Amino acid sequence: MEIVRIRLRKPRRVLCFRTDGLALERDTPCIVETENGLEWGVCVLPPEPCSDEIGRRTSLRVVRRATASDFDNYAHIVGEEARAQEICRRKIEKHSLPMKLVDTEFSFDRHKIIFHFVAENRVDFRELVRDLAHDLRQRIELRHIQVRDQAKLVGGIGTCGRQLCCSTFLEDFKPISMRMAKSQNLSLNPAKISGQCGRLLCCLGYEADMYDRPKKKRCCEDPSGESAPPCAAVQAPREADNDAGPGGEGDAQARRKRKKRKRNNPGDREGGGSAG
């Protein structure tokens, strides 16, 4: 059994699909079956063998290579999405709704139109849906998304000079806190460690676990990476206690013996014992 990685048209995510024996090459357009029906995709990595267990867990599959009719349908969908988005934007202004239209997505079989929007509060868009269904003659779905999902749909270039992680490979958004930036000795200025969505950068969590691990205190470390014997600074006090002086014992050991002798012989504390 083989699986292949396909980048979908919207959202531009890379998912694993079963090939079912279909040969694909890199950058080959194809039609895939997803949870929402047939979708357009582009092969990112050629098919590679996988275990039977992974193959059973992969429910998505590649239907066929893109044909000439599929290319025509793709071009028609792109044009219809632009027209539907402009109509929806005008309807939003007409009803004075507090929402911002982000993107419009047609299903590949053109049975449904999904409008993605952001809004600070709950929006009553029932009148908007009725107007859109009357003008577009399609099944309408309005989907409220968050600002991080907006960056995922729109895409862009991050401060690192690469495409946004959320629009390329990230599937889920994990909580990011200022503590992660502090533990990595990064700037605590939110303007410098925030992404295009206005939230803290997702990449702050990539190495957070490494910085949170407790560090072992080691006196010396060999350049090869192996632990070295304790250094002279640690051994010095022990040697000072155990080194034999001119009288045969170290100063510290002799003091301990004198204190013990005084406790056992109270008369010695007076400096000479009892007079005879």
Q: Are residues 44 and 97 in the same domain?
A: no
263 lies in a domain?
no
Lowest mean pLDDT among 44-53, 72-81, 86-95: 44-53
| 136 Cβ neighbours under 8 A, 6+ residues apart | 84, 87, 113
User: In this structure, what token pair is assigned to residue 265?
Assistant: 């012989």
Are residue 100 and residue 81 in the same domain, yes or no? yes
Buried b (16+ CB within 10 A) or exposed e, 234-243: eeeeeeeeee
Predicted local distance difference test score (pLDDT) of residue 23:
85
Residues 83 and 122 in one domain: yes
Does residue 11 lie in a domain region?
yes
Residues 38, 55: one domain? yes
Q: What is the mean pLDDT of residues 196-212?
A: 84
**Last residue in a domain, options 114, 145, 176:** 145
Residue 43 domain flag: yes
- Tens digit of each residue's pLDDT (9 = 90 or more) over 115-168: 999 998 888 888 999 999 999 888 999 989 888 888 888 888 888 888 888 877
59 and 8 assigned to the same domain: yes
Query: Tens of pLDDT along 29-72?
Result: 999 988 878 889 999 888 888 888 887 888 888 999 999 999 99
CB 127 within 8 A of CB 95: yes
Residue at which a domain ends, from 91, 125, 145:
145
pLDDT at site 226: 53
My answer on whether 49 and 86 are in the same domain is no
Give the residue numbers spanning the domain of 44. 2-66
Both tokens of residue 31? 């039609």
Report yes or no on 131 lying in a domain: yes
Answer whether residue 246 is part of any domain.
no
**DSSP characters over the chain:** -EEEEEEESSS--EEEEE-TT----TT-EEEEEETTEEEEEEEEEEEEE--HHHHHH---EEEEE--HHHHHHHHHHHHHHHHHHHHHHHHHHHHT-S-EEEEEEE-TTSSEEEEEEE-SS----HHHHHHHHHHH-SEEEEEE--HHHHHHHH--B-TTSSB-GGGTT--SPPP--HHHHHHTT----TTTSB-TTSSBPGGGGSSHHHHHSPPPP-S-B-TTSSB-PPPHHHHHHHHHHHS--TTSS-HHHHHHHHHHHHHH-GGGGGTS----
**Domain CATH code at residue 123:** 3.30.300
Q: pLDDT higher for 256 or 266? A: 256
* Of the listed ranges 93-107, 124-138, 147-161, 210-224, the one predicted with least confidence: 210-224
Q: How many domains does the chain have?
A: 2
User: Exposed, middle or buried: residue 7 (CB in 10 Å: 0-12, 13-18, 19+)?
Assistant: middle
Residue 268 has pLDDT above 60, yes or no: no
Q: Report, as an integer, the average pLDDT of 188-202.
A: 85
In a domain, 275, yes or no: no
- Looking at 106, 127, 145, the residue that finishes a domain is 145
Nearest CA among 70, 66, 13, 22 for reference residue 46: 22
Q: Is the residue at 163 inside a domain? A: no
Q: What is the mean pLDDT of residues 86-110?
A: 90
247 found inside a domain: no
Within 10 angstroms of residue 74's Cβ, the number of other Cβ atoms is 15
Q: What's the confidence (pLDDT) of residue 224?
A: 55
Q: Do 84 and 103 lie in a common domain?
A: yes
- Residues 81, 116 within the same domain: yes
Which pTM value belongs to this model? 0.64
Is the confidence at residue 239, as pLDDT, over 80?
no
The pLDDT, as a whole number, for residue 216 is 57
Average pLDDT, rounded, for the chain: 79
CA 11 to chain centre: 17
Predicted confidence at residue 215, as pLDDT, reads 59
Question: Do both 23 and 48 map to the same domain?
Answer: yes
Residue 267 has pLDDT above 80, yes or no: no
